[in-house]
Amino acid sequence: MRMVQCVKLGREAEGLDRPPFPNELGKRVYENVSKEAWKQWIAHSTMLINEYRLELSSKQATEFLLKQCEEFFFGAGGAKPEGYVPPSESGEKK
């Protein structure tokens, strides 16, 4: 098991099995992001794809997601879309 000092969790954790992208960002993620934090990114990116209705086959969507991924791990943390309400807070009565 490969361990990394995870930039998102702030502690040592199990690293990814391989770089997620074939570029410099993929290498940085592989060296600095844990599997646990990667799962957080997958959830965040799914929300972005749905909220912005991204067409994943477009170059613009790919570039947007790569930039958001870099922000999520190495920047301000990745912003949520304006007006975004998580599903659990969207008016369900408790």
Q: Tens digit of pLDDT for each residue in 23-62? A: 999 999 999 999 999 999 999 999 999 999 999 999 999 9
Q: Token pair of 14, please? A: 């199990």
For position 89, what pLDDT does the model report? 52
State the CATH class of domain 3-77: mainly alpha
Segment 67-76 mean pLDDT? 94
For position 94, what pLDDT does the model report? 40
pLDDT interval class at 79 (50, 70, 90) = low
For position 88, what pLDDT does the model report? 63
For position 37, what pLDDT does the model report? 98
Sequence ranges of the domains in the chain: 3-77
User: Who's near 31: CB < 8 A, 6+ residues apart?
Assistant: 4, 15
Half-sphere exposure of 84 (CA within 13 A, CB side): 12
Segment 2-23 mean pLDDT? 97
pTM for this prediction: 0.83
